Amino acid sequence: MSAVTTAVKIRYFAGARAAAGVADEDLVLDTSEPTVALVVSAIGERHGEQLGKVLAASSFLLDGVAVRDTSTRVPAGAQLDVLPPFAGG
């Protein structure tokens, strides 16, 4: 029996991009029904403490829709945008 995986496209913006060291990447998870929380945990583990701190303060868009509940399921082929707090005026 083969393992079930789900591929997700991650896009990083501003401080998240700097912390991750990449603008975007593909992430493959060993589950058929990942949640936003699981995806965020996986990218935090992949990129370390600096990104972990940014993720704790970030908001997320799943296929262009704001995520209010990190238990939201992430379908295969989805895109998750990581949006750190932006300063500005």
- Phi and psi of 77, rounded to 5°? 80, 5
* Tens-place pLDDT, residues 9-49: 999 999 999 999 999 999 999 998 899 999 999 999 999 99
79: in domain: no
SS3 for 52? helix
* 89 occurs within a structural domain: no
Which secondary structure element, helix H or strand E, spans residue 66, and what is its range? strand 65-66
Q: State pLDDT tens for residues 67-79.
A: 999 999 999 999 9
- In angstroms, the CA 11 to CA 19 distance is 12
Number of domains in the chain: 1
Domain that includes residue 17, residue range: 6-68
pTM over 0.85: yes
Residue 16 — φ and ψ, nearest 5°? Answer: -70, -40
